[in-house]
Structure 1
Amino acid sequence: MESNLQTAPEEQYSPAVRPLTVPDHSEGAASSAGAEDGSARRAGRWALPAWLKDRQNLSRAVFWIGPFASYCGVELMNTNNPFTDLNIGQIFFNLLWYSLIYWVMRMVTGRRNLSAGISAVFCFVIGLLNHYVLAFRGRVIFPVDLLCLQTAANVASDYDYTPDRTVWSALAILLVYLVLLFLVPRHRGRNRLRLRTCLLSWGVIGAFLFAFFCTGLLPTVGIYAQQWRTQQNGWLLNFMTSLSYSFVRAPEGYDLDRVNEIAQRYPGTAVVDGAEYPVNLIVVMNESFADLGGFDKLELSEDPLPYYHSLTENTIKGTMYSPVTGGGTANVEFEYLTGDSLAFLPSSTVAYQLYLYDNCPSLVSQAKALGYHTIAFHPYYSSGWNRTFVYDWLGFDEQLYDEDVQNPAYIRKYISDSNDYEQLYRMTDESEEPTFIFNVTIQNHSGYQQGWNNLERTVELSGDSQGKSPVAAQFFSLMRESDNAIRELIEHYSASDERTMIVFFGDHQPPLENSFYEYLYGKKLGERTTEEAMVQHETPFFIWANYDIPESKDVRISSNYLGTLTAQAAGFPLTGYQQLHAALMEQFYVTTTIGFRTADGLVTEEEAELTEEQQALYDDYRIMAYNHLFDDDNHPEGFYS
């Protein structure tokens, strides 16, 4: 589909590059023995096909090798075998996207070899970036990550970038291809495509993009954005598929009559005169705090969380199911503070970056309406996850970050949990009004190959687990430090005269190596059942008070309901939305991004396996969550506040 240029004489090619020599088997060739000569026959075995003897055809062939080479290199770095780990449809769509990159660059530059070289390097670079995100976060790059570059830059120096075998293999593929491009002939000037070729190309590209992004093509061929098996599509296809799912549409059956009808069925409770709430309501979302006790194969030298496990008095405790694993802290914040579920949003999007708005009703605005001074505290950079805007929108009166920490003390390079909690003591001691604090800690942030600065090596892998992870020992030693800090936190407020309630939960499990999790499961991550996959989403939680509250243990709950449980435990009047959550919790202990855990013991990722009553209730939730987040001009009066 290129211009019918005549084969140029030798002088038209760059004198700095020797064209690839093509054996000449014409009648006039210097070979006295002719075609019957034995040596000529042996040479003929290595001769190029006749159509490749034309230098333009040879150049075209090398150009189209590029998309395949890039696909192989990127998938090697994506820890996929490019030939066996993906099905034919996935391979086809991946190659289609790589070919699109090469062809668009060809049309833009007008130079075949140059465009192929630029495309090959570009694909290698994005594949390398994805490789390190996968290694450090346990998931591939998604479109929303492009909006989170500042957050990534904040922690980029904490990781080890030593190339592994897959990186060297992909680099070898790139270098071989670039050498091949260097050897084939190329024009000295631009080699423009014909206008009709360009117009036809853009028409085909436009039709493909429309079909990919605006029709049901992907589900028809069985391709979906992968959320917890993120390598399954191949990186480029999964990235583009996720992009196509980044546009949120109203759920089926959504209209304002249905919204108002649901709101009427779940009226909020009234404020009770003289009701006594906690003077201090402190919520601690602890970075990467996890027990990993759900993995039977894990053997440790000692319990990393003895104090947490001993808590019983005036305590509600159990397991929280996070919508994410290995990263994505802001999405857990979103679920806890708003009561919305990440399951209703396009996979791996970050609501803080895309969907929040000013005056969004939340647990924060609820506390503020009850007379609390509301504080958000995160002892790290303020630039992460768009927090400075979102916290204002959610109703926080005050925001504090690393620069606000007094007498900072560090474990590794992060503010320690113990030092973090000292700031909480100061905030509540200095406050003259009821105080609601939402604290996101930083001590246990990933990058567990860092040195042991101010961190004692206390908990080791033992037994059969010994040697299965080079970084897990640092993580479990961090858990021991967190456990010690929890003891200090509880002891401090146990001695306080002010009614204090503490809500504590881990945001997600740590991004330990995939190979370590595969050891714990005894299988590849892509082979897990829904129930097994949920284990990697489990984190501990507790609600404790320095006054009498009903006690319970072994509670299972997902983070989108935990805000409602907080309001119930604190004695707040419930909003209509929280009343809906309460009804949901009677049917579903867990509704999260990878499935359901129902009160009758069912664990499934398929809505079709739910009872009709459960499906109807879940549909109500889906409709009201959409109304809450995307149709704020039509909120039912008083339903969310």
Structure 2
Amino acid sequence: MMDKKSILLWVKKLLPFILLPFFSLALLFLIEFTHRGSFTLTVKWFIERRTAAIYTVIILTAIYYLLLLLKRKIFIVLFSLFNIFIFTLATVSHIKQSLRGDPLLPIDVTLISESMNMSESFNILSDRIILSIIAVLILLAVSGFLLFWSMKTYRYNIYTILLSVASAVILSYFVNNLVQDGATSLNQTFKLAYLDYDQRETYKHNGFTIGFLRNTKWLTTEPPEDYSKNTIESLVTEIKSDEKAENTTKPNIIFIMSEAFWDPARLENLSFNKDPIQNFRSLQESNVGGNVLTPVFGGSTANTEFEALTSMSMNFLPTGSIPYLYNLNKPIPSLPYALKEQGYETTAIHSFHNWFYGRNSVYKQLGFDRFISLEFIPNPVEDMYFLRDNEMTDLILNQVKDSNEPNFIFAVSIQGHGPYPATGKKPYANVEIDKEKSSANLESDSENIIETYGDTVGEVDKELARLVQGLEENGEENVVVFFGDHLPLLGENYKAYRESGYFEESGSYKEYKKMYETPLLIWDNFSKEKDQVELSAPFLAPYVLNKYGLEGNIVTDHLTSMLESGTSYIPRQDFIQETDINDEDLKEYNLLQYDIMFGEKYSIEPKNLKPNPKYRLGYADPYIEKAEVKKSDGETYVEVHGKNLTMRSSLFIGDTVVESTVDPETQTITAKIKEEDMNKKVQVQINDSLDRTLAKSNKVSISK
């Protein structure tokens, strides 16, 4: 019979192997609770998808058993770091899904720095998340203590080595199964389901851990079938033999991708006291109007932008891809390059940080001459979280007015961006839901979100009207292509869409189009052609180039031929069968895109795609005309007069930055100065929110 000391010794030896599976289960519950944001939904998942839960517990336990081969101090450190890391991913996934509508993907992990900068504007730590953080810390503390205590007498033997080998085999087999296509036997046994085109459903069905691991397979891109030099060269020959449109004019072409621009009237069960987008609607009725099918919902603006500027499709890229961050480190064919070859100046405008989505470098690779970002807007005015569109309109009109060449301007507006508050109104609020004429039963927060969005998009609509009026009066031929990048996020988990009856989770093609189509306007002041079109974002450039007789590139030429044969709309992969798309056209499109982005570039001459060596941020560097000494109320000041001074300008006296006041209207900067600094020179630098210097002025001595 064993004594107490012997029993305690055996308990110590066996505790890690017994405790770790239960720890895996407890951690999994907290991960799912955090990711789903609901205790009820988490319990429901454990009951209905228990096989997926078991699969995840096996993977986690196998990882922990492998770590047991390490010394106990190293084990405790790595054990804690691993669990904190995976729980953090689940937390970020919940936040992303709340703000953007889709869960965290492996490719998103490198976006953490940008996400943190964005998150400063929002209150993202809910009570549920804080509760989960506390629970995880308690779980780690208790488990860590017990494991550290029990491993004091831990000894390696043949059994622990065999267990570790078995864990390695199981882990490899289970994780490798996750990245396999098709219904594998293990998938069927554990009832796993992968909807790569709908990550929200994949995570909902399989859980966060399996969903995240599954998507690691998309970090690389495999070549399409039949990819070869001969295939691409034959395809290029066929495309180039097609007759091209005749160049008849070179109008200014202005693309405005308006953040979250949409028509609230599409919420069929709601009526409003006024039409928020009456100017857009009027212009759409008398020009070319319709819809744009975007690749994203509620966020990932850069992916719609990628399709519009390159005419390439997100359909052919790995799930969760963000080409701006991972693929555009070299020049690729684009609309700006095509127009530059025809004498156009190319300008990008976005009233947000230059670094967001890497636009500061991406725009150079896409063929722009300059990028006017937030830092170079003289006096940006905030509209709650972001800037109003007024300054963007001024920049566009001034660029067209001041340039001697035809202009291509791509402007990404920001005023329409969410979130839209659940309580409180903006100062200019005037849009209200007409409850007597509405059949939807909205909660008060959803009602306020929708009305605030209506107010916001109404201001965007006014700026569109001001832009069109300004272009009507400038005496030049102008084209405006105006569209939304995605639908707005109206509350967490589609809340306002659900309550209004717009989103019913039917999974149908009709509902897919409702969730991914934004309104489109193509206006000009010389043809006045009326038409209704349905275009996927990649077809915007081919349509416009063909309509106005301008040359494109190999990709736009291929899409133009598809347009002429009746194809203008390429939905998500799972809905392709709902269309009449020619399979061969789609295959050739995929081959071209792969060749340009990942392949040997047989279809293009990379040397012909040369970024402008004078590409720059802003129109010009700040310039100091003079610096004078001023005295007021017993204080001595230096007053700097110059040009191109913005609210992001910093004043340096010698090598030291000083606290200063900028007046963009008078183009002056004022700062206190000490007597000993009078002989030093002054300089102005424009810095961004990451404290990086974007532009510098000349240095000037102070006039006493």
Task: Output the TM-score relative to the length of structure 1.
Answer: 0.81
Q: Distance in 2 between matches of 1:319 and 1:228?
A: 25
Partner of 1:325: 297
Is 1:64–2:21 an aligned residue pair?
A: yes
* Bigger mean CA deviation after superposition, 341-350 or 257-266: 257-266
Which of the pair is proportionally richer in strand? 2
Alignment of 1:52-201 (within 5 A): 54-79=11-36, 81-82=41-42, 84-85=44-45, 87-108=49-70, 110=72, 118-165=81-128, 168=131, 171-172=134-135, 175=138, 178-179=141-142, 182=145, 186-187=149-150, 189=152, 191=154, 193-194=156-157, 196-197=161-162, 198=164, 201=167
Partner of 1:625: 593
Contact 1:382 1:388 (8 Å CA) reproduced: yes
Q: Structure 2 counterpart of 1:480, which letter? A: G
After superposition, what is the alpha-carbon deviation per residue over 1:308-350, rounded to whole angstroms, capped at 9, x for unaligned?
1111576211111110011101111110111111011111111
Q: Structure 1 counterpart of 2:499, which letter? A: Y
CA shift for structure 1 position 535: 0.8
Structure 2 residue runs without a partner (length 5+): 188-192, 610-704
Contact 2:62 2:170 (8 Å CA) reproduced: no
Alignment of 1:238-637 (within 5 A): 238-267=211-240, 275-278=248-251, 280-312=252-284, 315-449=287-421, 455-463=427-435, 464-466=440-442, 467=444, 469=446, 470-512=448-490, 513-514=492-493, 515-521=495-501, 525=505, 527-553=506-532, 555-585=533-563, 586-593=565-572, 595=574, 605-607=575-577, 614-635=582-603
* Bigger mean CA deviation after superposition, 95-104 or 527-536: 95-104
Q: Structure 1 counterpart of 2:26, which letter? A: A
After superposition, what is the alpha-carbon deviation per residue over 1:103-133, rounded to whole angstroms, capped at 9, x for unaligned?
4554456367776555544443332222111
Q: Distance in 2 between matches of 1:295 and 1:427?
A: 37
Alignment of 1:43-58 (within 5 A): 54-58=11-15
Identity %: 23
* Bigger mean CA deviation after superposition, 565-574 or 461-470: 461-470
Q: Structure 2 counterpart of 1:489, which letter? A: L
Q: Structure 2 counterpart of 1:622, which letter? A: N
Q: Structure 1 counterpart of 2:222, which letter? A: R
Q: Distance in 2 between matches of 1:241 and 1:334?
A: 25
Partner of 1:600: none
After superposition, what is the alpha-carbon deviation per residue over 1:44-88, rounded to whole angstroms, capped at 9, x for unaligned?
xxxxxxxx9834434532222111112111212222734544635
Change (3 A) 1:299 1:264: same
* Bigger mean CA deviation after superposition, 510-519 or 341-350: 510-519
After superposition, what is the alpha-carbon deviation per residue over 1:461-494, rounded to whole angstroms, capped at 9, x for unaligned?
4433542615333222110110111111111111
Contact 1:150 1:383 (8 Å CA) reproduced: no
* Bigger mean CA deviation after superposition, 184-193 or 230-239: 184-193
Q: Structure 2 counterpart of 1:94, which letter? A: T
Q: Structure 1 counterpart of 2:364, which letter? A: D
Contact 2:338 2:551 (8 Å CA) reproduced: no
Contact 2:89 2:104 (8 Å CA) reproduced: no
Q: Distance in 2 between matches of 1:630 and 1:96?
A: 36
Q: Distance in 2 between matches of 1:136 and 1:219?
A: 36
* Bigger mean CA deviation after superposition, 327-336 or 252-261: 252-261
Contact 2:539 2:559 (8 Å CA) reproduced: yes
Q: SS of 1:590's equivalent?
A: coil
CA shift for structure 1 position 245: 2.1
Q: Distance in 2 between matches of 1:564 and 1:169?
A: 50
Q: Structure 2 counterpart of 1:510, which letter? A: P
CA shift for structure 1 position 356: 2.3
After superposition, what is the alpha-carbon deviation per residue over 1:167-210, rounded to whole angstroms, capped at 9, x for unaligned?
63675476367446656882474846558344554455445544
Q: SS of 1:150's equivalent?
A: helix
Contact 2:62 2:167 (8 Å CA) reproduced: no
Change (3 A) 1:69 1:260: same
Q: Distance in 1 between matches of 2:586 and 2:247?
A: 35
Change (3 A) 1:8 1:316: farther
After superposition, what is the alpha-carbon deviation per residue over 1:414-465, rounded to whole angstroms, capped at 9, x for unaligned?
2211221111112122212221111111112223239979641222344335
Contact 1:317 1:542 (8 Å CA) reproduced: yes
After superposition, what is the alpha-carbon deviation per residue over 1:387-426, rounded to whole angstroms, capped at 9, x for unaligned?
1221111111111111111232221242211221111112
CA shift for structure 1 position 496: 1.0
**How much is the aligned-residue C-alpha RMSD, in angstroms?**
3.4
* Bigger mean CA deviation after superposition, 112-121 or 400-409: 112-121
Q: SS of 1:288's equivalent?
A: coil
Is 1:223–2:186 an aligned residue pair?
A: no
Q: SS of 1:395's equivalent?
A: coil
Q: Distance in 2 between matches of 1:64 and 1:199?
A: 17
Q: Distance in 1 between matches of 2:185 and 2:277?
A: 44
Q: Structure 2 counterpart of 1:151, which letter? A: E
Number of paired residues?
582
Partner of 2:644: none
Structure 1 residue runs without a partner (length 5+): 1-5, 11-20, 23-51, 596-604
Q: Distance in 1 between matches of 2:318 and 2:304?
A: 15
Q: Structure 2 counterpart of 1:552, which letter? A: D
Q: SS of 2:203's equivalent?
A: coil
Change (3 A) 1:153 1:115: closer
Task: Output the TM-score relative to the length of structure 2.
Answer: 0.75
Change (3 A) 1:582 1:504: same
Contact 1:230 1:238 (8 Å CA) reproduced: yes
Q: Distance in 1 between matches of 2:183 and 2:202?
A: 20
Change (3 A) 1:274 1:558: closer
Q: SS of 1:148's equivalent?
A: helix
Contact 1:358 1:392 (8 Å CA) reproduced: no
Q: Distance in 1 between matches of 2:78 and 2:110?
A: 28
* Bigger mean CA deviation after superposition, 156-165 or 316-325: 156-165
Q: Distance in 2 between matches of 1:100 and 1:59?
A: 12
* Bigger mean CA deviation after superposition, 176-185 or 223-232: 176-185
* Bigger mean CA deviation after superposition, 358-367 or 399-408: 399-408
Change (3 A) 1:53 1:99: closer
